[in-house]
Amino acid sequence: MNQKKIYPRSNDKQTVYLNRVITNPNIEIGDFTIYNDFVNDPKDFENRNVLYQYPINHDQLKIGKFCSIACGAKFIFNSANHSLNSLSTYTFPIFFEEWDLDVKDITNAWDHKGDIVIGNDVWIGYEAIIMSGVHIGDITKL
């Protein structure tokens, strides 16, 4: 098998091997995991489907081998959470420069649920939403 191949099937530009199109070091994808997108370019998975994974948090998305991810599946990380432990749910800490706030650790502004870990041979259906801290399937070595 060609280790550099992006598309598993010739003449099918809707399905990609995800680990061939991901550049974010905080996203780890196992071999032969595929993503199908019949609406957008599946090579844009990292930008369209992995949301609120800001570098400041060091959140990880780990997906095992031989997974199938359907069109529109989203992975939503910690920064999407608005704190319920303060006087306001407004995202003041994110705009600390605008508000002249003295923020020592901006990541304390939201609840940390943890990384998203998908084991091997998992199917994630059409427009599924996977939130921070969720683990699905086996969690053995990816």
Maximum distance among all Cα pairs of the chain, rounded to whole angstroms: 56
CB-CB contact of 22 with 48 (8 Å): no
For residue 61, give both structure tokens.
Answer: 């998305």
CA gap 34, 8 in Å, rounded: 8
By annotation, the residues acting in catalysis are 82
Structure tokens at 67: 């997974």
Environment class of residue 101 by beta-carbon count within 10 Å: exposed (0-12), middle (13-18) or buried (19+)?
A: exposed
CA distance 96 to 101: 5
